[in-house]
A and B are shown apart, each in its own frame.
Chain A
Amino acid sequence: MNDEFEILESDVLIIGAGGAGMRAAISVNDAGLKPIMVSKSLLGKAHTVMAEGGIAAALGDVDSKDNWTVHFGDIIEEGVYISDWKMAELLAKEAPERVLELERYGALFDRTPDGRIMQRAFGAHTYRRLAHIGDRTGLELIKTLEDQILHRNIQFLDEIYIVDLIKNNNKIVGAYGIKMNDGKRYIFRTKAIVIATGGSGRVFKVTSNSWESTGDGLGIAYRAGVKLKDMEMVQFHPTGMVYPPSVKGVLVTEGVRGEGGILLNSKDERFMLKYSPEKKELDARDVVARAIYKEIMDGRGTEHGGVYLDISFKGPDFIKNKLPAMYQQFLEFADIDITKKKMEVAPTVHYMMGGIEVEAESGKSNIENIFAAGEVTSGLHGANRLGGNSLADILVFGKRAGDSAAQYALSSKLEKIDQNEVESITKHINDLFKEDGKNPYALMDRLMTCMSENVGIVRDGEHLKKAIEIINELKKEFPDVGTKGGMKYNHGLLGCLELENMLISCEATATSALMREESRGAHTRSDFPKKDKNWRKSIVVYRGEKNEIVYETEKTKEMPEEFKAYVKPEVYK
């Protein structure tokens, strides 16, 4: 067993190297301090790379009437009035500047005929608002920021798995990681931490999320005493691939509908006219996802259990220019030429609106030196996220979290690492090596199946209780999981550690979903189909003093009077 340690010191440790982590690292570097950025996957491979449609920013380049107040209103309304209004304000105001900053770094956005940044329509955005690079905006974003990381010589260690944060006298003083390449253990001594690890979509069986999205940041934060919020709010993207089985869940960008694509059932009916006569295919994601779900449930689905998405009528030139990655994806993965044929799609788990509760301006959690940004946080998107707001989110709040963590680090010093803490984490890891351990992937599979079957797009009390029961069974079995082999690049070991974090996310999600006895945004309860004004609040989850999970509710903060003019008043029927 490799028990060797390396100790690395930084002013700010950034966990995660997607858009939020990289943007935070740039901020710390700008402040003249030393960041270290670590990530579970290789540099440049983070889940951000999968983002397709664009970055929502009220630049007004295409629709000149657009401005931050309209974007603000869209966020609050589609988040069904439980978003943190301050985060919504900051996002709406600052996203345009972050887009222009990317352009200065070398990102090359699609243009309007007169040379400005092209913006496309997306679900429930009042105006055409998404700055984009074809349908591979995330790739451009991540490669552009990666260039900054490399040329600024920001220290990064990729393929590092952070097992836990390290405390000393109730203060977080560092983190414990395993480098997969050589199995070496690292102690990261640091003054402040930015958690930017993304979501936990992979706790579901059918998801658009990549390998790494197992909610590790949520797990380590929770164990460190950080509060999580809105964990029941899971976004189902309306359109994931359904066929062939090996690509089930892979994302089909909303850009297809943004560029004019229509949804049809097996009877060739354009069913969105019925569910949403005004916004049709471009209504909010929760509305479109539920409509597709209902069509399939009512027997109007396709042979492989989806509905049709058609853009072929736009012609090959248009499609290959506007949606090149989708054209390629269907051709290569499904043998379907989307310029000639319809796509088959169904909802797929896409995004967690819930996560670490943060202060809007600074990204600070309830622990003074833990900051967070991006999908791992909560608040901005409330009960439903608008497409394109995630890329805006990681840039705006990645920068803010990096700035505030740097500010914090300026006036603090490195603390001593408590060896007892280190030893207890080491022991936990070493205990996972056993001759006859249960296969973590077998448990993971049961967990994912349980979540997809019981905590899906339409929920009810009975199924949620069943989910909690299964999660509890799996928690009891967890001490038996184990792996063989060594520390080096051992996915068996990683699987055990991931599973532990996934169980936390799942328990918080299922229990919060059971508590919220109403339907709001992405959270739909067939036994409580209406929205309830008493639930204009959030469920906060944290670890209690006896290691029990504590659930509390927290009222949504009221926005100042002058902001109310930007938002349609909430209606309860």
Chain B
Amino acid sequence: MSENISVHVFRFDPETENEGKFVEYSVPYIEGMAVLDTVRYVEENIDPTLSIRWNCKAGKCGSCSTEINGKPSLMCKTKVDTLGKDITVAPMASFPLIKDLVTDISENWEIARKIPMFSPREGMEEPWKINPKDVERSKEFKRCIECFLCMDVCHVIREHYTPYFGPRYIVKAASWDMHPLDALDRSKFLNNEGGLGYCNITKCCTDVCPEHIKITDNAIIQEKERNVDRQYDPIAMLIKGRRKKEKVVR
């Protein structure tokens, strides 16, 4: 098969140029090819100064996040065959641009540091015993590979300056809140400090998650509702201190 496909790649160095532009490259088609293969072809054969970020090429590390034909996607998991004739690859828009397709995602680490860590209940005998069923809920959130596509697509982050931590970090908090041995409840904190109220559950984050985590339904809505319970249910507040750990099951 010797047909070529054309890929329009965003090129821009904000330090030395005033504006970016899409540059068209012609790349030989290989069966099963992913968008990552096309930009790697450009880098290795046409212009090695093209800045791209990738690592595992297997959908496991979450490095190659970009916007492909406008949709936040991993380059390694987006097959060329699914895209039709025109392919455009642009950097994530929510993060500061470094160069070409590479953005600076370091602001995420500041948010990560704010999420209270796993805090095991006190006085548990080691080795810990956990019912296999109780592992399941947190497991979904632990699938997160930190590609930050959910942060990229989130219009609260894109369009407003708010304290909202963003979907990734609600998922992170939920992964601890639903850890069967965790002693904390982070829902109040997420609402008060993390701007959870700004999320109006449009589910855009869920749509782009390459790990198919039901971010909105299983993390965001759960944490919102738990917080409401905490604030307005005096009985629940009373019992809270006595229970080892309350698991909210709806």
Minimum CB distance partner of A113 in chain B: B132
Q: Which of A9-17, A132-140, A413-421, A561-569 contacts B (4 or more CB under 8 A)?
A: A132-140
In the complex, which residues of chain B have a beta carbon less than 8 angstroms from the beta carbon of A41? 55, 61, 63
Q: Which of B61, B105, B113, B139 contacts A108 (CB 8 A)?
A: B139
Chain A 363-401: CB-based contact to B (< 8 A → 1; otherwise 0)? 000000000000000000000000000000000000000
In the complex, which residues of chain B have a beta carbon less than 8 angstroms from the beta carbon of A61? 127
In the complex, which residues of chain A have a beta carbon less than 8 angstroms from the beta carbon of B87? none
Interface assignment of A117: CB less than 8 Å from any CB of chain B: yes
Interface residues of B in 116-154 (CB under 8 A from A): 117-118, 120, 126-132, 135, 138-139, 142-146
Complex: how many Å from CA A181 to CA B14?
12
Interface assignment of A479: CB less than 8 Å from any CB of chain B: no
Q: Total interface residues on A, using CB and 8 Å?
A: 70
Given contacts A42-B105, A115-B131, A488-B99, contact A246 B59 (CB under 8 A): no
Are B55 and A488 interface neighbours, CB within 8 A? Answer: no
Interface assignment of B245: CB less than 8 Å from any CB of chain A: no
Q: With both chains docked as a complex, state the minimum distance between the C-beta of A139 and any C-beta of chain B, in angstroms.
A: 7
Chain A 478-520: CB-based contact to B (< 8 A → 1; otherwise 0)? 0000011110111110010000000000000000000000000
Complex: how many Å from CA A250 to CA B57?
8
Number of A-B contacts (CB under 8 A): 170
Are A441 and B44 interface neighbours, CB within 8 A? Answer: yes
Q: With both chains docked as a complex, state the minimum distance between the C-beta of A364 and any C-beta of chain B, in angstroms.
A: 30
Q: Which of B46-54, B218-226, B236-244 contacts A (4 or more CB under 8 A)?
A: B46-54
Secondary structure at the B interface, as helix, strand, loop or mixed, is loop
Q: Which of A44-52, A273-281, A528-536, A549-557 contacts B (4 or more CB under 8 A)?
A: A44-52
Complex: how many Å from CA A42 to CA B102?
12
Q: Total interface residues on B, using CB and 8 Å?
A: 60
Are B49 and A492 interface neighbours, CB within 8 A? Answer: yes
| Shortest beta-carbon contacts, A-B, top 5 | A244-B32, A492-B48, A106-B118, A115-B129, A485-B49
B residues sitting closer than 8 Å to A (CB atoms) are 13, 15-16, 30-34, 37, 43-45, 48-63, 77, 98-100, 102, 104-105, 109, 112-113, 117-118, 120, 126-132, 135, 138-139, 142-146, 176, 179, 182, 212
Given contacts A143-B144, A333-B32, 10 further A-B contacts (CB under 8 A): A41-B55, A103-B127, A106-B118, A108-B139, A133-B142, A139-B142, A139-B145, A143-B146, A486-B16, A492-B48
Subset of 30 A-B contacts with CB under 8 Å: A43-B109, A44-B146, A45-B55, A49-B60, A50-B60, A59-B127, A104-B120, A106-B176, A108-B130, A108-B139, A108-B142, A111-B132, A140-B142, A143-B146, A147-B112, A182-B98, A210-B61, A211-B55, A245-B31, A246-B31, A246-B34, A333-B32, A439-B44, A441-B45, A485-B49, A486-B16, A488-B99, A489-B51, A489-B100, A491-B51
